[in-house]
A and B are shown apart, each in its own frame.
Chain A
Amino acid sequence: MKPIYRILAFIGKEIHSILVQPQLLLLLVAGPFAVLLAFGLGYRPSGPELRTIVVQPPSAEQEQAVGRYLEGVGRPLHVVERTSDLSAALARLQARQVELVVVIPPDVRETLLEGRNVQLVFYHNAIDPTRIGYITAVVDGATSQINRAIVRQVVGEQQASAADYERVLVDLQDALGQIRSALQENDRPRAREISQAVRLNSGLVAGLSLLGSDPLSTEPPPATDLAQQARELDALLAEPESDAAALDQSLARMQEDTDRMLEALRRTRRIPPDVFVAPLVWDVQGVSTYQPGYVAYHSPTVLALLIQHLGITLAALSLVDERSAGAIELFRAAPVRAPEVLIGKFAAYLLLIAVTSAGLVGLLTVALHVPLLGDWRWLIAVLAALIAHSLSLGFLISALANSRSQAIQMSMLVLLGSIFFSGFFVPLQDFALPVRVLSFSLPVTYGIETLQQVVLRGEPPYLPYVGITAIWAIGLWIVSVRLLRRLFVGG
């Protein structure tokens, strides 16, 4: 019974110590709430706007058009000025008044007509690799958008002119029918006369054979040369002794090719220019039951980090405070054992953090509308493992640190490590193996994964993670007890 009284003494003392400090209580409870709320309400995942100056040669029509296209790209590219003064634009870039300067080269039309790409140069003044990556992605997206717009316009114009070709092909079909009728009536001169017109028209539509091709097929399109066929037909008609079967075969082949080209042309005209510009579009469909937004997705991560930090700081300072106040000396003379001290403190902090965690989960569901899809009993198990692991790590820090400032520094290092190595910002698979070992010594790494599974996927947590967290908690706790025992022996 007496060990229970001693443990209860520590539980009561720790809870009482916190309850009598309103400021600490406020920090403990309202602090994480405020952080989570600020994150939920303030997190806007779209990238920042890039203020852009377009530099173009004065009054050149094609270059002006490219400038207008750039203006039409829209967010995050925001064209604030169009100028012909490159040095003034670069000066503003240096002064960080704008984020981008785009230079449109002169002679756009000539360059294109020479069959070369027109190179737009985008200047930036960033040094952050992530920011540079963002700018590159924006520039790539903007350039693609402009290219598509240009191609869309050209295709539209081409489709409009395709109506003329359609008429030629219809005339051609009509003429072939007339030749066939003239031959049936044995009127070779008339057939020959019409064939002359066919020769002319077939030359006009010779290039349209490409329209029948299928870009997704590996088979080459069938060879179609109406002009050659028209010449051959004309030659056959010119010979009085020519075989009727050969004439019929030639006419049939031309008829067939003309039909095919007409069909392809009509089909092509029916396709909107947007489809030509981007034949393939995408649509991503998730198979999980819930597709969270950015805030909902990151909320369990922030929750895990807050709980870890709370656990580590509370535990890390507890033994250091006892040592600096000299209370350890009192414990050394009293009938209290190191495990009883740590069990008492552990239970008190577990209770306090559990209450705070319950409040945070409530805030997530009520204020930030994050659904709790999984079983709440799994949530309790995951949170308990996370809190236990964090507290044990905090006790280890507390037993190792010789002063309050050392304990705070160590806690901050763990927090910093957690931000970098827990998968919070950078995916775990991006780290080399030794660093990943560090990742998996942090409570938050397991906490993020298991909380996301329970809260957002509605699945039971990955049990090996819960088990490893519990093993970490017990292992670190045992090491802390051994270190505390050494403090109790003193010397």
Chain B
Amino acid sequence: MPQEPIIVLDSVTRHFGRTTAVRNLSLSIEAGQLIGLVGPSGCGKTTTVRMLCGILPPSEGTVRVFGKDPLRFDCADRVRIGYLPQHFLLYPNLSVAANIRFVAGLYGLGLRQRRQRIREVLELVELWPERSKQASELSGGMQRRLALAATLLHDPELLFLDEPTVGQDPILRRKIWEWLRSLERRGRTLFVTTHYVTDAEMCTRVALMDLGRLIAFDTPERLRRRAFGGDMIEVIARQDIHAFLRSLERMREVRAIQVRSQDRLTAIVDDAGKALPEIASSLRSEGLTPDSVREAQPPFEDVFERLIRQHNRQERRT
């Protein structure tokens, strides 16, 4: 039986005066996924999240979360969501513990349950030893983790996290993604915005936005294939690179070839898993010994750049 989508955006547009932050956005997300909303700054990610949380009404179109208009959420609905705003919105003059206690009260956590959950989330974000410090004394990264702890405190089933990794060092960024993955494994739905495109790989599905438009929405793998027209196999050879080029051009599996440098070629194939052994064997049979033949994982910067270019071209054509 198909699962009911937990989030539905249908032709949603949001204007701010004469500026359009989100244009005709349609998305449908099922529960239990880690969704990444990726795109450059100002592309409409935060506006989308704020509309999904019921903070902003859309100018056009409909937004449905749990099958309801978020603007009409009652308290029971709001307890089911967790929202991490882009900026630190807790109280700098209060201690870490006082801030968390306040949020616990806001979400109606009972006193006994509260004590245990506060410790759990502060330990999770590694702020338990800092609980007596004033929030203003924390670094930017620590404040971000405090805000994340406040969002996770009531264990919501749907989390909207606006740039949770901003200001974190690479190790902590990875840790945060691991926490988010563990929440996903526990059946939570996460809607995470990030402008670190490399973070996209950590998501179940990625929505790519640019200038308020949805460019693509798929798994990271499929996006990569869509950007390059298939899987990529990289051939590195310090011998005559032209001989490798000619050989690859003759192969049926290879749909396109790119010369990356004097000793590096990239072949686009439908299925790298199948094509890789065949290409290696064909090269060897022609007496060509490459230094390396392997499946290539182009960085997501390239993937997104290509997808945006393709989208723009298609838009111009239509």
Contact = CB atoms under 8 A, between A and B. Distances in A.
A335 B75 CA distance: 4
Interface string A7-34: 0111011001100110000000000000
Contact of B93 (A2, A10, A21): A21
B1 interface: no
Contacts of B268: none
B260 interface: no
Contacts of A2: 75, 108
A116 to B, nearest CB: 78
Interface stretch (B77-85, B169-177, B201-209, B213-221): B77-85
B71 A489 contact: yes
A491 B56 contact: yes
Interface string B68-98: 0001001111110101010101110111001
Contact of A20 (B74, B93, B102): B93
Contacts of B85: 326, 329-330
A20 B94 contact: yes
B78 A13 contact: no
A17 B94 contact: yes
Contacts of B74: 335
A333 B151 CA distance: 11
Interface residues of A, number: 29
B182 to A, nearest CB: 23
A325 B107 contact: no
B130 to A, nearest CB: 16
A402 to B, nearest CB: 17
Contacts of A1: 108, 110
Interface in A157-175: none
A13 B89 contact: no
Contacts of A491: 56-57
Contacts of B160: 333
B107 A334 contact: yes
B105 interface: yes
A82 interface: no
A327 interface: yes
Given A9-B104, A333-B83, A335-B107, A325 B91 contact: yes
Contacts of A490: 55-57
A6 interface: yes
B68 to A, nearest CB: 14
Nearest to A332: B55
A329 B89 contact: yes
Contact of B55 (A8, A333, A336): A333
Interface string A469-491: 00000000000000000000111
Contact of A333 (B78, B101, B102): B78
B98 A16 contact: yes
A276 interface: no
Contacts, number: 91
A51 interface: no
B11 interface: no
A337 interface: yes
A335 B71 contact: no
Nearest to A330: B89
A325 B101 contact: no
A337 B85 CA distance: 19
A13 B91 contact: yes
Nearest to B98: A16
A6 B105 contact: yes
A3 B57 CA distance: 26
| Max chain B Cβ within 10 angstroms of own Cβ: one of A13, A332, A333, A334 | A333
B53 interface: yes
Contacts of A3: 108
A22 B54 CA distance: 38
A333 B54 contact: yes
A2 B75 CA distance: 10
Given A13-B98, A16-B98, A330-B85, A336 B106 contact: yes
Interface of A: 1-3, 5-6, 8-10, 12-13, 16-17, 20-21, 325-327, 329-337, 489-491
27 contacts: A9-B104, A10-B105, A12-B102, A12-B105, A13-B105, A16-B94, A16-B98, A20-B93, A20-B94, A21-B93, A325-B89, A326-B89, A329-B55, A329-B89, A330-B83, A330-B85, A330-B106, A331-B106, A332-B54, A333-B55, A333-B160, A334-B103, A335-B79, A335-B106, A336-B75, A490-B55, A491-B56
Given A13-B102, A333-B54, A491-B57, 14 more contacts: A5-B105, A9-B102, A10-B105, A12-B102, A13-B98, A20-B134, A326-B87, A327-B89, A331-B106, A334-B103, A335-B74, A335-B106, A337-B75, A490-B56
A-B pairs with lowest CB-CB distance, top 7? A9-B105, A2-B108, A335-B75, A335-B78, A333-B83, A326-B89, A333-B53
